[in-house]
Amino acid sequence: MLENMFGARELASFWLADMDFKIAPPITKELERIVNRGVYAYEFATGEVFDAIVDWNRTRHHLDLNHRSFVQVSGVLTGISLLIRELTQPNDGILIQTPVYHQFARVIKSNGRKIIRNPLQIIDGNYEMDFEDLEKKLQANKVEVILLCNPHNPVGRVWRKEELQTLLEVANRYNVTIISDEIHADIIYAGYNFNSLMSLSVGKHISLIGSPAKTFGMQSISNGYIYIPDEIKMKQIKKTVGAMYLNHGNAFTTFATIAAFQHGGPWLDELLVYLERSISWIQKFLHEELPLIKIYPVEGTYQIWLDFRPMNLNQKDLTQLLTQKAKLALTPGGWFDRESPLFMRMNIAAPLSKIQAAFQQLSIAANENL
């Protein structure tokens, strides 16, 4: 993939949002149990999966979910794509808050819907939603859905309850459904709490909640779960999913997910402490050695959002500095928003020693550049 994306193999990779860490031992043990059993018959246990997700959210986030409101699909993006097709018509507008996970724009475009941008704004060094612009965009366009990233990839915001409440109020006023992608729900740092959209008053809004992909590093063996409080809508989506046989899953995913949510808590707690230590190291290093690179507050997710604008480089020179001189593969900010070409996203779910080496390389390359 490095060769394809960056035209070079010998780069330290920090661009994809997955983990360099081994998954939690109870998950591996469960996968081994299935392999050792050597039987791969039809085996569906979605009820147990939903129970594990419900229990996890109750204890972890004080969030009460209803077992019966889940619909299983093969991934979070599958879920979003399916919802877009079910809830909107070709050429309808779908609003996103840029810079945002680049697949949002892709899933809207590839389904023949129109992207409406409501850019986040930087206020006092932090990203905030722009509600004034949101109202304008909803007035001026036929928007049927707001696609929310909660917590937000790549800027690392963990949306506060009041922010989500205001968003919901505006959406309700314009009869717009919010689809809340909550895949990053469990990577939350000290001082912040995850607020699911589902913790607000029950309405038309829908959530993609309960994916173990990011939480437990199960990117290539996880499903997506659509959570729809509105029973009529839930039945409609379930019917479509059933008609397409999208809900079968496989035994590895099913039992790994149950093991993760039932027994992965202590591993996740350790991971979060480790990531926080890495973030502190990065913040200190940038402050002392590379003050021209700004890091935004990291409230959640294992992505950090770096602002290279103060270095006064153009986009080509920045790419050259990172890939050819520092030998790093970071995710270009332009992927998330056409206005952010001088930003980079960096995945920090990696050993601190690898991160430290990367920043040393960057420091040497940047100083040579001055």
Ligand X SMILES: Cc1ncc(COP(=O)(O)O)c(C=O)c1O
Q: Which residue in 23, 158, 176, 183 binds ligand X (CB under 6 A)?
A: 183
Does residue 99 bind ligand X (CB under 6 A)? Answer: no
- First CA to last CA distance, the chain: 31
Only one of the segments 72-80, 135-143, 319-327, 349-357 lies at the binding site for ligand X (rule: CB under 6 A); that segment is 72-80
HSE, side-chain direction, 13 A CA sphere, residue 184: 26
Which one of 119, 210, 224, 332 is in contact with ligand X (CB under 6 A)?
Answer: 224
Does residue 181 belong to the site contacting ligand X (CB under 6 A)? yes
Per CB under 6 A, 211 contacts ligand X? yes
DSSP 8-state assignment for residue 318: H
Task: Name the residue nearer to ligand X (CB basis): 57 or 211.
Answer: 211
Say which residues have a Cβ less than 8 Å from residue 50's Cβ, sequence separation at least 6.
67, 70, 72, 210, 225
Q: Please, what's the b/e burial string for 282-311 (b: 16 or more CB within 10 A of its CB; e: otherwise)?
A: beebbeeebeebbbbbbbbbbbbbbbbeeb
Find the part of the chain contacting ligand X (CB under 6 A) among 38-46, 73-81, 311-319, 356-364. Answer: 73-81
Residues 6+ apart with CB under 8 A from 102: 335, 336
185 lines the binding site for ligand X (CB under 6 A)? no
Tokens describing residue 256: 């790994």
- Residues near 324 by Cβ (< 8 Å), separated by ≥ 6? 8
Give least dist CB 149 to ligand X, A: 5
Helix-then-strand count for the chain, H and E: 12, 15
Alpha carbons 114 and 168: distance in angstroms, whole number: 21
Which residue stretch of 69-77, 157-165, 237-245, 315-323 sits at the interface with ligand X (rule: CB under 6 A)? Answer: 69-77
Whole-number minimum distance, CB 155 to ligand X, in Å? 12
Interface residue with ligand X, options 101, 267, 302, 359 (CB under 6 A): 101
Contacting ligand X within 116-155 (CB under 6 A): 149, 153
Number of residues that bind ligand X (CB under 6 A): 13
Shortest separation between residue 72's beta carbon and ligand X, angstroms: 12
Under the criterion CB under 6 A, does residue 107 sit at the interface with ligand X? no
Q: Measured between alpha carbons, how far is residue 353 from residues 14, 19, 349, 356 in Å?
A: 13, 15, 12, 5
If binding is defined by CB under 6 A, does position 76 make contact with ligand X? yes
Please report whether residue 197 would count as binding ligand X according to CB under 6 A. no
**Residue number with CB closer to ligand X (181 or 337):** 181
- 22 secondary structure, DSSP code: P
Report d(CA 228, CA 202) in Å as an integer: 10
* Choice between 293 and 349, CB closer to ligand X: 349
Of 57 and 285, which has the nearer Cβ to ligand X? 57
Smallest separation, CB 17 to ligand X (Å): 4
Per-residue contact track with ligand X, 232 to 271, x per CB under 6 A?
----------------------------------------
> In the chain, where does DSSP find H-type helix?
2-6, 25-37, 46-61, 76-87, 103-110, 131-140, 161-173, 231-243, 251-263, 265-289, 315-319, 352-369
How many Å apart are CA 161 and CA 195, to the nearest integer? 6
Q: Which residue in 77, 87, 148, 171 binds ligand X (CB under 6 A)?
A: 77
Q: Which residues bind ligand X (CB under 6 A)?
A: 17, 75-77, 101, 149, 153, 181, 183, 211, 213, 222, 224
